[in-house]
A = this chain, B = another copy of it.
Amino acid sequence: MMQLGVCYYPEHWPESQWQSDARRMVELGMTHVRIAEFAWSRMEPRQGEYDWAWLDRAIDVLAAAGLKIVLGTPTAAPPYWLCKAMPQIMAVRADGKPWRFGSRRHYDLFSADYRRECARITTAMVERYGQHPAVVAWQTDNELACHDTVPSYSDEAKVAFQGWLAAKYGDINKLNTAWGNVFWSMEYPTFEAVDFPVQTPTDANPSHLLDFRRFLSDEVIAFHQLQADILRQHAPGRDVLHNFMGLFGAFDHYQFAKNGIDVAAWDSYPLARTETQALPEEEKARWARTGHPDISAFSHDLYRGVGRGRFWIMEQQAGPVNWAPHNPVPAPGMVRLWAWEALAHGAELVSWFRWRQAPFAQEQLHSGLNLPSDGFSPSGEESLRVGKELRQFPATASKAKAPVAMMFDYESLWYCDIQRHGASFDYQLHLLAWYSALRQLGLDIDILPRDADFTGYALIVAPTLTVADLPLVEKVSKSDALWLFGPRTGSRTRDFHIPATLPPGPLQAVMPIQVLEVESLRPSLRPQTRIAGQAGAAERWRENVRPMGEVEVLARFEDNWPALLRKGHVQYATAWFEPALLKHWLAECALEAGLEITHLGAGQRLSRRGDVTFAFNYDAQVWLAPVPMDAELLLGKAELGQGELCAWRE
């Protein structure tokens, strides 16, 4: 499926406008519309007084036009009367003060009362619309974790954390041992003694922080699951989903998805994401109007894995937004390109945010397909074109298994967050760097959890996998694919200890080395090495490694410490390599793994879906896409200016 949709807020507009809106959506080629996810104050204006009439009519109008509806539960923004009646549902900041009412996400997700209220409104809503033929999917809440709203430092949350720890460890002495609390006399007599790991005079214990992250993740999942279960009960056969954000790591999305969703949906804002991510300034400058060429693709490939093959774009950027430090207008063509790119990466649905820019309130400078005065915005014109193109585009199979698998691991992200060691070590940036290098070789990538089935992949990469456990090691040893591990892999146990045999711990079974010491590199420190003829530097992170036994040192730094080690079909990179060096090494590896590579520039990308290949040009220079002589051009032409794309079938 390759379908289009849009986010719509009937409550923002006069009812008289709904019909023409619905008609124009359909004309544009849209099949789906998401509504209602912030409308609690309209569904239940006063405690217990439901007003469904307006929503009934909105659904009727949209359904009558032939649109499929995604309904959102409104729990991301509890209305005033609820916050007033139950002040205990307001989340508490680290300074002990509750957040104030007047925006969104002010609720405490650890509040039993709030969960009860969420269950109530969700039940009421799904009892009314769960069987409606036009309502094909349900979204819970909205962008969980956005604005850093997962933690709440309320007493209720603290008790829940203590309970979580008690359930995990059973005996407080086990916790004390696991956390190494003998250090600095941090030993606790009971679980009730454990506080939040914040506002300590110096660093809290990393094991304490890690368990807190795990607890938070579990609670976010439980918060969602409560609604998901209700929705499934009352709306059988409908897709349940939540709209994730790109590069959010506050909870384990794989765990979240396991029982919680039918399709992974995410909200894609390439420009603001590029501007706010910790990318080098020259990258931000270069891609200011296009977004970094991998910033969305990375999440597409990640969420395709999270959704076990099924993913949607629930909100797709449609013009300039309002929430980055600077918010430029996208380069011409990008709104179209982003939509096609998502589809090329396997999206079933691309749904733009939003139908029409609201002229009031917080997001008035967040554009839409239509101007506040109605009529298409410049970006809206591009969406029209996508609609037309898609109508003529042949049916395309799902995205096939890629030749390369990359491991993304939320726990590794938390370990690295808690213990950056160097200010510049960012887990997601590290993965993005590897991803980008591989994508510049023309390769498709599946991003997968550590416990995935990796059979069938020719090249499997783990830029950092903090805990290397025995099941993984077994997979590696039984595999004949090429496995590449990056620094910090196997560097910790699940309790956040350095492994007794030193890093990479259990991975030593297939990569017999010992990491003796690690260093974080200030920007001025750039140890030099040479890999397969290519000179280059380490940045940000390096490890001093001692080879054990039969391991081969493929490259060394000037000071003789190994840069790259190999044993059979396993390689270990001891450092964060600068981009050109990384790309060169990965190209060598891809060739060794028997993969066909295409050297692309920084701004060109290829992506395959079914038997169709797509080519995208983010760059200012014109690019002649590698369309084979005998290929059938399905879209565009081979010569691509900035923001252009083509697609062909061989």
A binding-site residues for B, Cβ under 8 Å: 9, 11-12, 38-42, 45-46, 74, 77-81, 84, 91, 93, 95-97, 99-106, 146-149, 179-189, 193, 195-208, 275, 281, 284-285, 288-289, 319-320, 322, 325-329, 332, 357-365, 367, 371-373, 377-379, 419, 421-424, 495-502, 514, 516-522, 524-525, 542, 544, 559
- Given A204-B103, A205-B103, A361 and B195 contact (CB-CB distance below 8 Å): no
Min CB distance A163 to B, Å, is 18
A424 and B326 within 8 A (CB)? yes
* Chain B: CB-nearest residue to A327: B520
A183 and B373 within 8 A (CB)? no
B40 and A185 within 8 A (CB)? yes
- Given A182-B11, A517-B319, A104 and B39 contact (CB-CB distance below 8 Å): no
B96 and A184 within 8 A (CB)? no
Min CB distance A489 to B, Å, is 16
Name the B residues within 8 Å of A502 (CB-CB).
Answer: 371-373
B329 and A188 within 8 A (CB)? no
* Chain B: CB-nearest residue to A107: B201
Q: List 8 A-B contacts (CB under 8 A).
A: A40-B185, A78-B185, A102-B208, A103-B202, A148-B201, A183-B358, A320-B517, A325-B422
Name the B residues within 8 Å of A361 (CB-CB).
Answer: 179-184, 186, 205-207
Name the B residues within 8 Å of A497 (CB-CB).
Answer: 359-360, 364
B100 and A326 within 8 A (CB)? no
Name the B residues within 8 Å of A205 (CB-CB).
Answer: 102-103, 361-362
Min CB distance A592 to B, Å, is 31
A522 and B38 within 8 A (CB)? no
Q: Interface on chain A toward B: helix, strand, loop, or mixed SS?
A: loop
A97 and B327 within 8 A (CB)? no
- Given A327-B422, A361-B181, A362-B183, A200 and B367 contact (CB-CB distance below 8 Å): no
B183 and A498 within 8 A (CB)? no
* Chain B: CB-nearest residue to A81: B189
Q: Roughly how many angstroms separate A525 CA and B189 CA in the complex, as a whole number?
A: 58
Q: Roughly how many angstroms separate A31 CA and B191 CA in the complex, as a whole number?
A: 42
* Chain B: CB-nearest residue to A520: B326
19 further contact pairs, Cβ within 8 A, besides A102-B204, A104-B202, A329-B517: A41-B182, A42-B182, A80-B186, A80-B189, A100-B195, A103-B200, A105-B202, A180-B360, A180-B364, A203-B362, A288-B525, A326-B522, A326-B525, A328-B525, A329-B544, A357-B498, A360-B497, A367-B517, A372-B500
Q: Roughly how many angstroms separate A204 CA and B103 CA in the complex, as a whole number?
A: 5
B189 and A514 within 8 A (CB)? no
* Chain B: CB-nearest residue to A43: B185
Name the B residues within 8 Å of A525 (CB-CB).
Answer: 285, 288-289, 326, 328
Q: Roughly how many angstroms separate A199 CA and B372 CA in the complex, as a whole number?
A: 29
